[in-house]
Amino acid sequence: MVKKILVPLDGSSLAEAALPHAEGLAQQFGAQVVLLRVVVSPYAIVAPDLVLAGYDPNQHELEAHGEQYLKSVASQLEAKGLAVKTVLSDGPVAEAILEHAANEQADMIIMSTHGRGGVSRWVYGSVADRVLQASVCPILLIRVGGERSAAKS
C-alpha cells in the first residue's frame, strides 16, 4: 500500500514532469504527496569551501523562493483534493532526497531524469542514479527528453 509519495522538485519543468504520475498514484491510493525542494547554493558549485564554512549571502533569499515555489505547487495539487506536505532542505541533493525519504517513511519516490548516458552521464553525474542505488523504497523514474539509443530499444 502506498501512503506517502516523495517528489523531489528543483523548480524546473523537467522535475515537474513527475507530478502527473505522483498525482495519479496519490489519487488511486489516497496517498499523501510530499514535495521536497533541496536548496543548493550557487556557491556550492563554484566555492564549496565557503559553503562548508557557512558563507552564503543569498541563502535566506534562496530558501524564501523555495518555500514560495513549494506552496504554489502544493496549492495546485490540493485544489485537486490531494493531501500535500512540503519540505525544504539543503545539502547535497541525492543525500537530501534519501534522508527525507527515510524521515518521511516514504513508500515511493517519483522523480524525473534526463536519461543521459555515456560520457554526459559521467561528466554531469546523475542524482537519479545515486538515489536509485541507495534508496530503500521503490522509485519511479520518469525519463524526460533525450533520445533513446538503438541499443536500448
Residues 6 or more apart whose CB falls under 8 angstroms from that of 119 comprise none
Pairing of strands 83-90, 108-113: unpaired
pLDDT in tens, 48-60: 444 454 555 667 7
Read off the C-alpha cell for 50: 565557503
pTM summary value: 0.81
pLDDT at 117 over 90: no
Tell me what the pLDDT averaged over the chain comes to. Answer: 82
Would you state the pLDDT for residue 43? Answer: 52
Cell 498525482 identifies what position? 23
Give me the helix-helix angle, 19-29 and 59-78, nearest 10°.
50
Positive or negative CA dihedral for 63, 15, 72, 100?
A: negative
Share of the chain above pLDDT 90, in %: 55
